[in-house]
Amino acid sequence: MVTGYNVHANDIRQHLICYEGKGPDLLVVPGITSPAITWGFVAERLSEYYNVHVLDVRGRGLSQAGDLDYSLEAMADDIIALVDTGYFNKPLVLGHSMGARTAIRAAAKSPDSFSGLLLIDLPVSGPGRREYPSQWSWYEDSIVMAQKGCSAEEMKSFCPTWSEEQLTVRAEWLHTCQLDAIDTTYKGFHTDDIHKDIPHLKLPLRLVVAGGAPVINDDDVQEILELAPHAEVRVIDGAGHMIPWDDLEGFLSAVTDFAAA
């Protein structure tokens, strides 16, 4: 059963999609330009193991947009406030890319709100570190195209390995990603220091690395393990940054046996 719903939390309207399952609550926080609906094909499979709620991050999808704070701090406060509403029972958080950084900041601020963290291809850029590998023009050009109206075929030039169904959903929903919200997040990839938060993470923690992407390398993984020695690491060989889009079965294998607190 799939149900969309809205919650007023952290002074904004937050929209989520629930893919009902019999397991523990799982809150999925997607990446920089991924409205909740784009994770539908993943959430349906995850619902065999969890009761899945996928968030439209502020400024994306059906959540509140407009003149808002789009900082990492605000996004972290959003998911803390969501849990405080009582809709969830101390959820496990699965954060992809931007969502992983958001989950880290939220868990560092409010560790008792969550039962564990699944950090999917965590961007390790930040002050004094190498740049995030994707260029701003990729985001801006695709969003502007989507704002005008585009087809799945036109979207293929930005996501050449995706299936027709995945491209169709992205072409339909990408226009809901408010450009200045995405710009703030992208700049934050280079100015926000999430490494300072990692030593404060005492929750069960697993880092899932896309083995075919340049976002996290072996040295980055080693640094994270030094900051959080209890972390588990899974590498999905050959997968790009959008891991489930490239290897859904590998992704599911890497996350569905995670033991949360």
Domain assignment of residue 161, yes or no: no
Give tens-digit pLDDT for 89-108.
899 999 999 999 999 999 99
Domain assignment of residue 154, yes or no: no
Alpha-carbon distance 55 to 6, whole Å? 10
In this prediction the pTM is: 0.97
Domain assignment of residue 147, yes or no: no
Alpha-carbon distance 66 to 197, whole Å? 29
Give tens-digit pLDDT for 120-137.
999 999 999 999 999 999
- Please answer whether residues 14 and 64 qualify as being in contact, where contact means their C-beta atoms are separated by less than 8 angstroms: yes
Give tens-digit pLDDT for 133-169.
999 999 999 999 999 999 999 999 999 999 999 999 9
Domain assignment of residue 8, yes or no: yes
Q: Which domain holds residue 220?
A: 2-131+191-255
Burial (0-12, 13-18, 19+ Cβ within 10 Å), 71: middle
CATH assignment of the domain containing 235 = 3.40.50.1820
Domain assignment of residue 233, yes or no: yes
First to last CA, the chain: 26
Crossing angle of helices 98-109 and 72-84, rounded to 10° = 60
Q: Which residues of the chain have pLDDT under 50?
A: none
Domain assignment of residue 59, yes or no: yes
- Token pair for 195: 């490494």
Domain count, the chain: 1
- Please answer whether residues 17 and 43 qualify as being in contact, where contact means their C-beta atoms are separated by less than 8 angstroms: yes
Domain assignment of residue 106, yes or no: yes
Domain assignment of residue 44, yes or no: yes
- Token pair for 60: 């994306």
